[in-house]
Chains A and B, each alone.
Chain A
Amino acid sequence: MSNALELREVEKSFGSVIALQGVSVEAETNAVTCILGDNGAGKSTLIKILSGVHKPSKGTYLLEGKEVTFESPRNALDNGIATVFQDLATIPLMSIWRNFFIGNEMIKGWGPLSRLDVKRMKSITKEQLLEMGIDLRDPNQPIGTLSGGERQAVAIARAVYFGAKVLILDEPTSALGVRQSGIVLKYVLAAKERGVAVIFITHNPDHAMLVGDRFYLLNRGRLIHRWERENVSGDDLRKAMAGGKELEALTNEIESSRKLR
């Protein structure tokens, strides 16, 4: 077991707002590391630090044991860290195949005649998406015409295809129906099997339980729990997420009000 990626005591503040404080995360290759948390807990901020959008205000970022600072998402990408952002990383008016290869265009020809290898990019896009269970009618159609789940799948397929060592997914299933969530989760596991360190952000403990090997719970900018798969149940996750005692209190309250009726 080796840590593909590690954060030590990371803090991030925006002016007077402290979005993250004392956050330490370890993510291993061949594993899915889940980060759970309610809305506003700081999940997206954490992702943005991992993917090079923000620099941490304090703390260290280690990639394969070496300390790193990323200047940009491109910089992180060049180091094998691919991110599928919640505010989708696709360009709606561009075609599906152009989106699939944006930033990684396949070029043929030489010098001033170097040009896009359109045919190859189209067929690879089609083939890669078919492997994910997405049957493209036409890779030329603008990606904005796809459903949210399909767009998410294109983004994940793209990251895996381009050989990400670390794949970060920011709430990939939050906008999806059951069937499409299933597809995405399957693909999360497929990515893990290929030796990718997957970091999976979600506020759905059931989805986390289906694929996760390690779980962190983020609350108001702090990590308040860490579990390994061997010693945690779905119930534990659900309770912890809902704030344990708060949930019990809420359950009692609702039950008593039901009895009254």
Chain B
Amino acid sequence: MSNTATDERVKSASIVTRIFRRPEVGALLGAIGIFILFTSTDTTGNFANLGGISGWTDIAAPIGIVAIAVSLLMIAGEFDLSSGVMVGTTGLIIGMSVQELGMNIWLAIFLALIFAAGVGFINGYVVVKTKLPSFIVTLATFFILKGANMALTMMLTGAVRVTGTDKAPGFEDAFNIFASRIQIGDSYFQISVLWWIALTILATWVLTRTRFGNWIFAAGGDANAARNAGVKVDRTKITLFVITSLASALVGIMFVLRLQGMQAGQGVGQEFYYIIAAAVGGTLLTGGAGSAIGASIGAVIMGMAYIGIPFSLWNSDWTSTFLGLILFSAVMINTFISRRAKGGK
């Protein structure tokens, strides 16, 4: 008797709360608002059609792929500032292996992935063992790689970019998997968009439906309580650093195949876009809460801004300012929503 009464109370009290408890709700509302904004200011008539969508998803996909991993890492309470430069580093490793050694493309990709996993492991291991803030540790990694990208590229090739990746044995197959386009109607979508959607689904499943996901939330929510309950916090964090580096490497692979070469400065500065996408998507900068879908919605917002601003004939120089304002309001709104969800017991 009293049980049924309680259960009714559950339903009436918490449908709204339950929706607003989702961390990505704020970002979703924001994305819809921005979509409406650019659709109405659009001067080309192409922002909201398939061609426009293929444009902004092309920008969103590589940001989203890394932002998902960065978001998981942030939920576990850590940052990776080397995630941007790693895109360049892995692209350069592949480009140089091909240009200087005539290596098979798959072997070059394999080398790049091994390297990325190694750096991710070192990032994680150093953070966990020294207990230094990951902000500082990965800032150091960032600068080390940034310098090495430039210096080694100059030293080995005598230029600031590597080229001719398309001459590698096996290039066609790799290109089809990582950098081809898919025709829908009369528009072409990058295959990276498929990767991005698949990884969003996979990461969401891992985060909400697996033990590893549970441990990610626990590690960032309260590392001590998590350890006391038997959660392997250090291992979880190191794994996430490796995953983040691998996500960057995936984007590096996509770029080097698509551009058939790579600039030494590629990726530098992107780390902030990943963090912004994650934060706009509702991931707490203090750890313990967030989502992969949110990070992807954050990436969509960025893609829309990059296409929508020139389509509205505004000066593209304002794009960063626009993203800064979005970040600011998203974080404010998310904080407000999550406080209400938690307080509205």
Contacts and interface: CB of A to CB of B under 8 A. Distances in A.
Interface of A: 51, 53, 72-74, 77-78, 83, 85, 87-94, 98, 101-105, 107, 114-116, 118, 135, 137-138, 140-142, 144-145
Interface in B1-45: 2, 6, 9-10, 13-14, 18, 21
Contacts of B255: none
A137 B9 contact: yes
11 contacts: A51-B228, A72-B227, A85-B228, A90-B222, A93-B289, A102-B214, A103-B230, A115-B209, A137-B13, A138-B13, A142-B21
B225 A90 contact: yes
Contacts of A138: 10, 13-14
A142 to B, nearest CB: 6
Contact of B218 (A88, A91, A141): A91
Contacts of B129: none
Contact of B6 (A104, A116, A135): A135
B342 A140 contact: no
B288 interface: yes
A82 to B, nearest CB: 10
A137 B6 CA distance: 7
B131 interface: no
A83 B228 contact: yes
A139 to B, nearest CB: 10
Interface of B: 2, 6, 9-10, 13-14, 18, 21, 205, 209-211, 213-214, 217-218, 221-222, 224-232, 288-289, 341-343, 345
A242 B224 CA distance: 34
Given A74-B230, A107-B211, A93 B10 contact: no
Nearest to A101: B214
**Interface residue SS majority, chain A:** loop
Given A98-B217, A115-B209, A118-B209, A89 B225 contact: yes
Contact of A104 (B21, B230, B342): B230
Given A77-B230, A88-B225, A116 B342 contact: no
Given A103-B230, A105-B214, A144-B342, A92 B221 contact: yes
Contacts of B18: 140
B343 to A, nearest CB: 8
A78 B229 CA distance: 11
Contacts of A91: 217-218, 221-222, 225-226, 288
A117 B14 CA distance: 23
- Which are the 10 A-B pairs with shortest beta-carbon distances? A103-B230, A91-B221, A103-B229, A74-B230, A145-B345, A105-B211, A93-B288, A73-B228, A102-B229, A91-B222
Nearest to A117: B209
Contacts of A140: 14, 18, 21
Contact of B209 (A72, A116, A135): A116
A148 to B, nearest CB: 14
A94 B221 contact: yes
Nearest to A116: B209
